Amino acid sequence: MALRWFFWRPIWLGCLLLTLIACDEPGSRSPRVDTGGVEPLSLETRDQLLSFVSELEAEGERSANGAERSASFARAAHLLEQSYLRDGKTVDAVRAEDLWKRASAAAPGSCETALRGLRLSAFLSGSSEQISLGLEGSRPTLTEPECRARLDRSRAFLRGGSEPRAQGPTDSAEQKGEAPRGVVAAQPDALEVDATAEITGVETLSAQDSARVVVKVTRPTRFELGVLDEDSAGGPRLYVDVHGALYQGQRVFEETGLVSRVRLGHRAGGTRLVLDLRRAAYHRVFYLPHPFRLIIDLSVTAPERLTIPREIRRVVLDPGHGGHDPGAVGPSGLREKDVTLDIAHRAAPLLAREVGVSTLLTRDVDVYVPLDERAARANAFNADLFISIHMNSSPDGAARGVMTFVLDSSRHESEAQVAARENASTAAAAAELANSLSGIESSSLRAASQLFAELLQRAAGASLRQLYPDVEDHGVQRAGFYVLAGATMPAVLFEGSFISNPVESRRLSSEAYRQRLADALVNAVRAYKEGRH
Ligand SMILES: [Zn+2]
């Protein structure tokens, strides 16, 4: 099992930290740690932020007044935490931890600084259990009853005992005696049980409130799902029988997050995969056809989370490709992976500053992230929108223009061809995915994706035509994109321009044009948030 902790851990822990910080009532913060009206994410670049943090730190060191000194250190620590959540750089979290300690030392008895510092220290230690234990150990040092109550609330939240968004299946299962709900997509066409299939790997991406388990099988197999609810001995768990597929390898994997353990065992000519869960969860099971992978998505919140007016607090930008996968390459050598990352880097701070949404990038640097991990990251982030950023390519060098895709069955072969290229699959596999998911995707989610795609097309046209009136608008299209499969929020794939077209490739080399594409993303999110249609 290749756990990609290197990239994955900071992401879900970041979400957890964010949740913990947001766990307290907004009004309960001590004025001494007020950030002074400074919106941390308005500091556009990392350099700006770090320089401001250093100023605050120096200010704290100069001050003879304990409360002022504490306030300066606390503001600096807060900004560094925000920076850590944005950039995922551990060095920021470690420095924030030190600053919280100094803030506490300068103003003993300040509940806010003490709690924030304790939470961060505990958080840096790793799993939610360790965080909870760390907080428990700190209880005696907090003397105010109100402060202790806040500590206890944080711990209860970590245990899942007082989850603020308690819409999960645990409640309904207890109240109605029902098993947790879930959906399973259509089975692949593998009617003959194929005894030669083999499970070659199982990957688990387990966050606090959601998880994705990917089972790699050498060829299409049929599968069967079973669920045991929370009251069963051994706690809530879910199992999948993969028919006709054998597995040789490690049989038990301990995990952190929603999935506590993954077990594999031989069963009736196939393999049973058991997922032990820390809490009952909604599930959704589907497959990606080529190469064949079973995807098991789990979430403690109900899949339907769309609200009107639209609450857009978190947006995931997914810069296409990366690392060993350059994506499409233009006639002059321009690589799609570099353009998509640059556009995401341009859009993210603007989204924070101008639209007031938190942004997560599925990759922040030039690394390869598998397609089946990207939507899982968006799910773990509880994102309200998922935007996969790509540049188009065609053997026809004259092809040009902008199009936005939603996940659906293609109407034209040309649409499926784009998905095939982005999936690194065949057009038939793209069509198969779209068909197999058609039974489990909710219509309201589809409608929301379609609406956002239309807004994005409109925003891109308006933004690019200010520079180049000849930009072609190809509208919203549909195809079976692997990267969008399983996203629990409205999700689109944006093909910003044709990198294969000499003219558009030259434009994509310019900062001004890339900025226009980034502006288009920002304007579309704003329009969507404001309820335009
Ligand atoms: Zn691409």
Note the pLDDT of residue 133: 64
CA of 454 to the centre of ligand 1 (A): 20
Q: State the Cα–Cα distance between residues 312 and 303, nearest whole angstrom.
A: 16
CA of 408 to the centre of ligand 1 (A): 18
Q: Are residue 366 and residue 285 in the same domain, yes or no?
A: no
Residue 156 in this model has a pLDDT that exceeds 90: no
Q: Are residue 219 and residue 357 in the same domain, yes or no?
A: no
Q: Averaging pLDDT over each range in 149-163, 402-416, 505-519, which range is the top one?
A: 505-519
Residue 468 in this model has a pLDDT that exceeds 90: yes
Beta strand pairing call for 314-319 and 358-361? parallel
CA of 397 to the centre of ligand 1 (A): 17
CA of 321 to the centre of ligand 1 (A): 6
Q: Which of 163-177, 393-407, 451-465, 495-509 has the lowest mean pLDDT?
A: 163-177
CA Rg value for the chain? 24
CA of 244 to the centre of ligand 1 (A): 34
For 106-130, what is the mean pLDDT?
Answer: 68
pLDDT-derived band at 393 (thresholds 50, 70, 90) equals: very high
Token pair 């699959």 is at which residue? Answer: 425
In this structure, the number of other CB atoms found within 10 A of the CB of residue 6 comes to: 8
Among 317, 337, 341, CA closest to 329: 337
Note the pLDDT of residue 402: 98
CA of 505 to the centre of ligand 1 (A): 14
CA of 483 to the centre of ligand 1 (A): 10
Pick from 299, 332, 363: which residue ends a domain? 299
Q: Are residue 319 and residue 292 in the same domain, yes or no?
A: no
pLDDT digits (tens, 9 = 90+) for 325-341: 999 999 999 999 999 99
For 196-212, what is the mean pLDDT?
Answer: 90
For the chain, the distance separating the N- and C-terminal CA atoms, rounded to the nearest angstrom, is 44
CA of 217 to the centre of ligand 1 (A): 25
Residue 520 in this model has a pLDDT that exceeds 70: yes
CA of 122 to the centre of ligand 1 (A): 39
| Within a domain: 170 | no
* Residues bordering ligand 1, an ion, CB closer than 5 Å: 320, 327, 390, 422
CA of 343 to the centre of ligand 1 (A): 13
Note the pLDDT of residue 301: 81
CA of 453 to the centre of ligand 1 (A): 17
Residue 25 in this model has a pLDDT that exceeds 80: no
User: Could you tell me the residue range of the domain that residue 390 belongs to?
Assistant: 314-529
Q: Are residue 148 and residue 227 in the same domain, yes or no?
A: no
| Within a domain: 123 | yes
**How many percent of the chain have pLDDT more than 90?**
46
Q: Do 77 and 84 touch, CB atoms closer than 8 A?
A: no
Q: Are residue 107 and residue 198 in the same domain, yes or no?
A: no
CATH number, domain of 265, equals: 2.60.40.3500
CA of 513 to the centre of ligand 1 (A): 18
The interface predicted TM-score of the complex, written ipTM, equals 0.99
CATH number, domain of 402, equals: 3.40.630.40
Q: Are residue 435 and residue 333 in the same domain, yes or no?
A: yes
For 47-61, what is the mean pLDDT?
Answer: 89
CA of 517 to the centre of ligand 1 (A): 15
User: How many Cα neighbours within 13 Å face the side chain of 451?
Assistant: 20
Q: State the Cα–Cα distance between residues 396 and 500, nearest whole angstrom.
A: 8
CA of 391 to the centre of ligand 1 (A): 6
CA of 422 to the centre of ligand 1 (A): 5
CA of 466 to the centre of ligand 1 (A): 25
Residue 120 in this model has a pLDDT that exceeds 60: yes
Residue 53 in this model has a pLDDT that exceeds 80: yes
CA of 200 to the centre of ligand 1 (A): 27
| Within a domain: 258 | yes
CA of 334 to the centre of ligand 1 (A): 13
Among 440, 400, 425, CA closest to 480: 425
Residue 76 in this model has a pLDDT that exceeds 50: yes
Q: Are residue 330 and residue 383 in the same domain, yes or no?
A: yes
| Within a domain: 431 | yes
Note the pLDDT of residue 129: 54
Q: Which two tokens stand for residue 202?
A: 């199982």
CA of 293 to the centre of ligand 1 (A): 21
Instruction: Give me the number of domains the chain comprises.
Output: 3
Q: Are residue 369 and residue 517 in the same domain, yes or no?
A: yes
CA of 149 to the centre of ligand 1 (A): 50
